[in-house]
């Protein structure tokens, strides 16, 4: 159901786009700057140089017809040490960026945290293991909401809350098999949920007409056979992966089964009455989610938790799940499942009765410019066509309200799993992992196609 203007848009994160890390900009380091896996690989300190090229890119987004743009703010650009001293140059950058979007009639959507915790907080407090980090985050979001309250009306506190704990734990040097991994994990999950609730509180208090979203990586998980134990395994997997934190962010409380499970396994995090009240009182206005693939599971016990496995497969490219014989997959083994999007939308709306917002959707492919300086990405057109058809069915036939559809990403950016090798955009960026080249932007074939989709408000696919 399209109740208000449907927001066709794009979605990116700070560390995958900005660059601008030169000392003159005063930015502190985040955990992404010290990722061991990046060493000797792509240049993350420049990314796609959005810091210097945002006007050019926003002009292209306007030409594409985007109505909304979701980006993240790099915490360490505002607070180089994560707390205390403010970097006014960084703050001014985001004001200029937001003003440029508004000038071009593109609604800015802020995500305050996209896994990039400032390095100082990680070293000083152990990151999200500590309540000190929550306190620092509150200082940061209090400033953001004060600064942008008149300009930005749609916010999400955190990107993919069901995966947030993963980088947080990995950067604490933890391994899945560490004896205290599970206990630390549940405490980190709880702390991140508290931080989310605090951010919701600040936005609701300070931003007039604010719409705040919960945001997760949603993945439909199908049973491998009709054996009731496989069906039960799929149900449990859905609960664990998709609903564990989303229930808290939308309903304000942990599901009883989760608390029973944590208690039984001796991994119940420390949580006070006051904290539970905070969670109860600060819930989301809409349900945002990223949608890339579906998975299949069965009754055989897995070795690790699902969140770890699924988020882990983002980086490894291979997942240990049974194949779905009815679906094809990308080079990274991500299944292409348009119908899964309709299923997800129905599941989410039936469960929460809140409007949805598709925050990330797209296909990552190895691509090169051809002699005409474009990319004939018919597969991308096909991918979006099929997904948007299913989104339309969910909205028009099933009556699911949805606020918008943001593609990940409208322009090529560093992929978190495969850097410049894996491209998502309608706009090609001329750099690769080995060299920065001239960074020029070129329109791919899908640019004109998506432009028309937006013009026709999704009718012409």
Q: Does 290 bind ligand BG6 (CB under 6 A)?
A: yes
Q: Is 210 helix (H, G, I), strand (E, B) or coil?
A: coil
Among 32, 148, 314, 349, binds ligand BG6 (CB under 6 A): 314
* Sequence-separated (6 or more) residues with CB below 8 Å from residue 3: 401
* Binding-site size, ligand BG6 (CB under 6 A): 13
18 an active-site residue?
A: no
Binding mask 160-179 for ligand BG6 (x = CB under 6 A): x-------------------
213 versus 223: smaller Cβ distance to ligand BG6: 213
CB of 227 to ligand BG6, least distance (A): 31
Q: Does 13 bind ligand BG6 (CB under 6 A)?
A: yes
Q: Are 344 and 412 in contact (CB under 8 A)?
A: no
Tell me, rounded to whole angstroms, the distance of Cα 41 from its chain centroid: 23
Burial of 328 (0-12, 13-18, 19+ CB in 10 A): exposed
251 versus 431: smaller Cβ distance to ligand BG6: 431
CA 48, 53, 58 angle in degrees (round to 5)?
105
Considering only residues 369 to 408 of the shown chain, the ones binding ligand BG6 according to CB under 6 A are: 408
Burial of 173 (0-12, 13-18, 19+ CB in 10 A): exposed
* Sequence-separated (6 or more) residues with CB below 8 Å from residue 364: 330, 332, 334, 415, 418, 422, 423, 424
316 versus 456: smaller Cβ distance to ligand BG6: 316
26 versus 163: smaller Cβ distance to ligand BG6: 163
How far, in Å, CA of 268 to CA of 258, rounded? 9
CB of 394 to ligand BG6, least distance (A): 21
CB of 305 to ligand BG6, least distance (A): 17
Q: Does 217 bind ligand BG6 (CB under 6 A)?
A: yes
How far, in Å, CA of 193 to CA of 171, rounded? 19
CB of 375 to ligand BG6, least distance (A): 17
Q: Does 364 bind ligand BG6 (CB under 6 A)?
A: yes
Considering only residues 413 to 432 of the shown chain, the ones binding ligand BG6 according to CB under 6 A are: 415-417, 422
CB of 115 to ligand BG6, least distance (A): 7
Choosing from 240, 244, 360, 367, which is the catalytic residue? 360
285 versus 360: smaller Cβ distance to ligand BG6: 360
460 an active-site residue?
A: no
Among 30, 120, 133, 159, binds ligand BG6 (CB under 6 A): 159
Q: Does 213 bind ligand BG6 (CB under 6 A)?
A: no
CB of 456 to ligand BG6, least distance (A): 27
Evaluate the omega torsion of the peptide bond into residue 209 and state whether it is cis, within 30 degrees of 0. no
What is the chain's alpha carbon radius of gyration, rounded to the nearest angstrom? Answer: 21
CB of 332 to ligand BG6, least distance (A): 7
DSSP states of 305-355 as a string?
-HHHHHHHHHHHS---SPP-TT--B-TT--B--HHHHHHHHHHHHHHH-S-
51 versus 408: smaller Cβ distance to ligand BG6: 408
Q: Does 361 bind ligand BG6 (CB under 6 A)?
A: no
The pair of structure tokens assigned to 451 is 């432009």
The pair of structure tokens assigned to 350 is 């039936």
Place of tokens 């699911």: 400
Alpha-carbon distances of 325 from 296, 306, 336, 337, rounded to whole Å: 10, 21, 12, 12
Residue nearest to ligand BG6 (CB): 417
Choosing from 50, 100, 107, 160, which is the catalytic residue? 160
Q: Which positions are catalytic? A: 160, 360
Q: Which residues here bind ligand BG6, judged by CB under 6 A?
A: 13, 159-160, 217, 290, 314, 360, 364, 408, 415-417, 422
């Amino acid at each position: 159901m399209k109740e208000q203007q449907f927001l066709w848009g794009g979605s990116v994160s700070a560390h995958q786009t900005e660059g601008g890390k030169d000392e003159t900009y005063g930015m502190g380091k985040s955990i992404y700057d010290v990722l061991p896996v990046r060493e000797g690989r792509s240049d993350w300190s420049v990314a796609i140089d959005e810091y210097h090229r945002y006007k050019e890119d926003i002009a292209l987004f306007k030409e594409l017809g985007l109505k909304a743009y979701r980006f993240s703010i790099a915490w360490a650009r505002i607070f180089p040490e994560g707390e205390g001293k403010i970097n006014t140059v960084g703050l001014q950058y985001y004001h200029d960026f937001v003003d440029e979007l508004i000038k071009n009639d593109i609604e800015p959507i802020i995500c305050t945290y996209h896994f990039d915790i400032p390095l100082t907080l990680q070293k000083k407090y152990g990151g999200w293991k500590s309540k000190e980090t929550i306190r620092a985050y509150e200082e940061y979001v209090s400033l953001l909401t004060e600064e942008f309250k008149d300009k930005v009306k749609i916010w999400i506190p955190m990107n993919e809350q069901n995966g947030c704990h993963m980088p947080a734990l990995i950067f604490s040097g933890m391994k899945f098999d560490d004896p205290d991994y599970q206990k630390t994990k549940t405490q980190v999950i709880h702390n991140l949920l508290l931080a989310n609730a605090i951010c919701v509180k600040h936005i609701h208090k300070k931003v007039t007409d604010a719409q705040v979203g919960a945001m997760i990586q949603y993945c439909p998980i199908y049973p491998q056979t009709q054996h009731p134990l496989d069906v039960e395994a799929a149900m449990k997997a859905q609960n664990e992966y998709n609903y564990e934190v989303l229930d808290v962010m939308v309903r304000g409380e942990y599901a009883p089964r989760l608390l029973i499970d944590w208690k039984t396994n001796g991994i119940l995090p420390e949580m006070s009455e006051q904290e539970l009240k905070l969670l109860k009182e600060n819930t989301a206005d809409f349900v945002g989610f990223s949608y890339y693939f579906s998975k299949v599971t069965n009754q055989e016990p897995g070795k690790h938790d699902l969140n770890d496995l699924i988020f882990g497969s983002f980086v490894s490219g291979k997942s240990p799940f049974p194949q779905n014989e009815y679906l094809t997959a990308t080079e990274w083994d991500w299944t292409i499942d348009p119908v899964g999007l309709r299923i997800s939308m129905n599941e989410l709306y039936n469960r929460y009765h809140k409007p949805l917002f598709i925050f990330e959707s797209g296909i990552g492919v190895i691509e090169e410019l051809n002699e005409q300086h474009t990319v004939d990405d018919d597969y991308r057109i096909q991918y979006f066509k099929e997904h948007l058809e299913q989104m339309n069915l969910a909205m028009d036939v099933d009556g699911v309200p949805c606020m918008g559809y943001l593609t990940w990403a409208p322009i090529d950016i560093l992929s978190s799993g495969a850097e410049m090798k894996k491209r998502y955009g309608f706009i090609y960026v001329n750099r690769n992992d080995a060299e920065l080249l001239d960074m020029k932007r070129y329109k791919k074939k899908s640019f004109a196609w998506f432009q028309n989709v937006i013009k026709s408000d999704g009718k012409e696919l």
